[in-house]
Amino acid sequence: MTFTLYNYVLSGNCYKIRLLAALLDVQYGTVAVNFHPGGEHRQEPLLRLNPAGTLPIMVTSDQTLTETQAMLVWLAQHYDDSNSWWPIHDLDTLPTVIQWLGFANRLTSSIGALRQHTLLNKPADASTTRAAGIAALRELECRLAEQSIRGEQWLAGKSPTVADIACFPYTALSPDAGIENDDYPAIRSWLHSVRSLDGFITMPGIHELHQMRDPAGASAGTLRDHHG
């Protein structure tokens, strides 16, 4: 079983799919989309695949998926025999995972939108999206701090789930939008944990673990999560 990903390398949402596929060691095909400046995602034939004109698009053997979170669930259901990434049988954990998948949409609509405005000059209410992005990071920090007190380093329990993958990219890319995350120690520790996963891959703006400062502040390099 395989799939084709319609992909834009600078998209945080497309990266979510590439990242989870790498962590699960899944092979798949890609179609590069000229998102900027070409706007290919809003033209035929891609509009036939996704009338909403958004990326990513996943085409499997029997369906086309156009919502990023649904693609993450599809990957976990089909390729994770342990049922840890999508804990379908854990009735206590699963609702929490679903809740943080919803939260990931808030990161996209705030930090993601502001990042596109900053880097690609896409229209956005910069003041409103910035305030929403900061509020989202504060909420994420509170959750991760609470998890740390419980001795858990992930959003929804003792092991990583699709919720962590959904929330990771735009949190790590927040400096691209002019919102630094250095002042959030629980977030920095969590970003470090995600980067430590076997099979972790990067995207432009998200560096390897060895290039980052560790969450305790000891220098493991001087690069931050931004382009340059």
Strand-pairing partners, residue 32, are: 7
pLDDT(226) > 80: no
pLDDT recorded at residue 227? 31
pLDDT band for position 98 (cuts 50, 70, 90): very high
DSSP 85-97: SS-TT-TTTHHHH
% of residues, the chain, pLDDT over 70: 91
Provide the mean pLDDT of the chain.
91
pLDDT, tens only, 54-76: 999 999 999 999 999 999 999 99
| Residue 1: per-residue pLDDT | 58
pLDDT at 33 over 50: yes
Please report which confidence band the pLDDT of residue 42 belongs to, taking 50, 70 and 90 as the band edges: confident
Q: What is the pLDDT of residue 136?
A: 98
pLDDT tier at 210 (50, 70, 90 boundaries)? low
Q: Where do the domains of the chain lie, and which CATH numbers do they carry?
A: 3-79 (3.40.30.10), 94-211 (1.20.1050.10)
In this predicted model, what pLDDT tens digit does every residue of 99-111 receive, in sequence order? 999 999 999 999 9
> What is the end-to-end Cα distance of the chain in Å, rounded?
38
Does the pLDDT of residue 8 top 50, yes or no? yes
CA distances from 141 to 82, 91, 92, 98, 138 (A): 28, 25, 22, 18, 5
Task: Identify which of 63, 67, 86, 66 has the alpha carbon closest to the alpha carbon of residue 75.
Answer: 86
